[in-house]
Structure 1
Amino acid sequence: MQESGRRANGNRVSTVLGRRLGGELQRLRVAAGKTQREAAGVLSATQTKVVKMESGWVPMRDPDIRALCDLYGVADDKALAGLLALAKTDRERRRVKGWWNDTPTLATQVEYIAMEDAAVRIRQWQVALVPGLFQTPEYTRALGIASLAGEDLDWIEDVVTGRAKRQQRLYDDTPLRIHAVIWEAALRQMVGGPGVIARQLAHLCHLAERPNVHIQVLPFRVGANAGIGGPFTVLSFGEDEAVDVVHMDAPRSTIWVENAEESAEFATVFNHLVKVSLSPHDSALFMQDVAKEVKE
């Protein structure tokens, strides 16, 4: 697991795909018994450049990848093609300037929003809050008011606007597919008061009718479960070489799980949560019942 690479390194940033590519090249270098100095020599570059490449700080050129693979004895054409395709995807995504890049309020979320925008499918486990892509403006606003920045009304409205833009992915011609498992606690939190939460629950039921949205509720009665350690999001992409990545928010950092083995473990946890949760149909009925309770 790695902390998000949004820290600047000159005018560069470390991206999820860049770190994955760099990590794979580092693995191949170590397996071949080569040093970073030797890698720098074959590239006619400095050792610092190799460090930056392996850390995902800079986009990689195809000739550099080919030269390094020759040095490391990579004879598998399919493996080389996968690295080149990953590098191409990373370069393209670094060039994308989405609306989120021009919104200072979203500065700490830029990498996640960019990855969410590129994803074709999301699986999300949420324990305390309604997932952001499902939140009503009132609900998002109430969360902002309750936060440490609660007195900055402009900041809160920027967050509300940004979240609404992200939610448009659910209604695209080729909509984002999202499967969310939500713990009962998130539905019973009186965020914004009974009226706000009742309307939020009604919105969840409405969204659940869309073919690209699947919502399941994990009720309290299930007790201890595989996801008790905390919420996470698994993002899946359209490219064959793009392994799922997992995103988690910690109090002072953002954590990404970027390799196939670890991301598969989170997918397994999610599948377990799906099995022990209410069915989508029963979840909708459950949410309707909770909405009635909070109105009374």
Structure 2
Amino acid sequence: MPKAHANLGNRVSTVLARQLGSQLLAFRETAGMNQAQAATALSAQAAKVAKMERGWVPFRDPDVVALCQLYGVEDQQVVQRMLRLARLDRERRKAQGWWVTSLAAGALREYIAMEDVAVKVRTWQLALIPGLFQTSEYTRALAVAAVSPDEIGEVERIVEVRVRRQLRLRGDAPLRVHAVIWEGALRQMIGGPHVMRQQLEHLCELADESNIDIQVLPFRAGVHTCSGGSFNMLTFAEEGAMDVVHMDGLRTTNWVEGVEESASFAEMFARTCALSLSPYDSMRFIEGIAKGTHE
């Protein structure tokens, strides 16, 4: 899976641009044309079309319309969805949010920019508490274990970024989050009993919020479809902006793109939800683990 590019400048490949580029590529191949023929319609060189199809440059509305006409895309609803997608990508490239200066390494800039405009996140966590739900102490314990001794100064920066991301859970238009957490993530003693008990109690508090749903997949559920690894699915309000999936690490991120791929992850998530405890029973389950966590 391709690793996301950190910089959000104009000449980098972004998730939304790659979605749009792959759709234009599919239209071109269906029309039986090569990149040179497409470039003629734009009064440009074939290299421009190649960059567009790979998502390396922002899309101008006239170029999108010209290519759709050339490829015989007559459905105006399809064209308008592509234009909205191009507009959203341009806005994301120009965004100068807090993450631009907070993330020195930049590995998560693109994800945070996407999360900042998402309306919903579905997250499956196999080994850790979801980042949006982590207490500062829990994140700090993870960061200390992850960085090398000469990078210990990065720990507080990582904690700060996690705390800032969690602001999306509150406000006038809070991010909706549906999390499914494997039982193992709840029992692993990250930071010791005191830190872990506080973390579990924090999950129970978050579950009272109307925009947050938390389910637990217990050990007794047995084999399940999401055993391959944790992932997040981001949903956007803009029509035409398909869900995107990412695998989140402490300081890195990988993307899964495409309509079929996104749909397969949505199906896996739904099947795992069906195997999991209900939100109510999940909270009783977490409370039981917290009470049994002794210092």
Indicate the TM-score class for this superposition, using the shorter chain for normalisation. Answer: over 0.9
- In structure 2, the residue matched to 1:44 is 43
Structure 2: unaligned runs, 5 residues or longer: none
Bigger mean CA offset, 281-290 vs 142-151? 142-151
Give the match's secondary structure for 2:284: helix
Deviation at 1:67, TM superposition (A): 1.3
Identify the residue that residue 194 of structure 1 maps to in structure 2. Answer: 193
SS at match of 1:49: helix
Q: CA deviation at 1:262?
A: 1.6
Distance 1:7 1:169, change over 3 A: closer
Please say if residues 183 and 218 of structure 2, whose CA atoms lie closer than 8 Å, have aligned partners that are also in contact.
yes
The residue that corresponds to 1:33 in the other structure is 32
Give the aligned partner of residue 161 of structure 1.
160
Equivalent residue number for residue 123 of structure 1: 122
1:255 Cα offset (Å):
2.7
| 2:276 equivalent in structure 1 | 277
Determine the C-alpha separation between the residues in 1 that align with 2:142 and 2:8: 33
The CA deviation at 1:87 is 0.8
Could you say what secondary structure the match of 1:274 adopts?
A: helix
Cα separation, 1, equivalents of 2:99 and 2:32: 42
SS in 1 for 2:106: helix
How many pairs does the alignment contain?
A: 295
What does residue 171 of structure 2 align with?
Answer: 172
In structure 1, runs of 5+ residues without a counterpart are none
Greater CA drift, 267-276 or 143-152 = 143-152
The alpha carbon displacement at 1:57 in A equals: 0.7
1:274 to 1:10, Cα distance in 2 relative to 1, 3 A: closer
Q: Is it true that 1:243 corresponds to 2:242 in the alignment?
A: yes
| Aligned positions of 1:73-152 closer than 5 A | 73-105=72-104, 107-149=106-148, 152=151
> More displaced, 240-249 or 206-215?
240-249
Please report the TM-score for the alignment, with normalisation by the length of structure 1. 0.95
Name the aligned partner's letter for residue 44 of structure 2.
A
| Whole-angstrom distance in 2 between the partners of 1:104 and 1:67 | 38
Aligned-residue CA RMSD (Å): 1.9
1:103 Cα offset (Å):
2.0
Greater Cα offset, 152-161 or 170-179:
152-161
Kept in 2, the 8 Å contact 1:105–1:155? The answer is: no
Measured against aligned partners, the alpha-carbon deviations of 1:83-130 in whole angstroms (never above 9, x if no partner) come to: 111111111111111110112445101111111111100100000000
Q: CA deviation at 1:62?
A: 1.0
1:171-204 Cα offsets, whole Å, 9 max, x none, are 1211000000000000011100000000000000
TM-score, L = length of structure 2: 0.95
Q: Percent identity?
A: 53
CA distance in 1, matches of 2:76, 2:212: 39
Quote the residue 1:210 is aligned against: 209
Cα distance, 1:148–1:250 mapped onto 2, change above 3 Å: closer
Asked if structure 2 preserves the Cα contact closer than 8 Å seen for 1:105 and 1:159, the reply is: no
Deviation at 1:4, TM superposition (A): 3.2
Give the superposition deviation at 1:66.
1.4
Distance 1:170 1:7, change over 3 A: closer
Cα distance in 2, alignment partners of residues 7 and 119 from structure 1:
18
Secondary structure of the corresponding residue to residue 214 of structure 1: strand
Alignment partners' CA distance in 1, 2:117 and 2:80 = 21
8 Å Cα contact 1:100-1:106 kept in structure 2? no
Contact 1:36–1:50 (CA under 8 A) maintained in structure 2: yes
State the SS of the aligned residue for 1:107. coil
Q: 1:21/1:275 Cα in 2 relative to 1: closer, same or farther (>3 Å)? A: same
Deviation readout 1:253-294 (Å, 9 max, x if unpaired):
743222222211111111111111111111111111111111
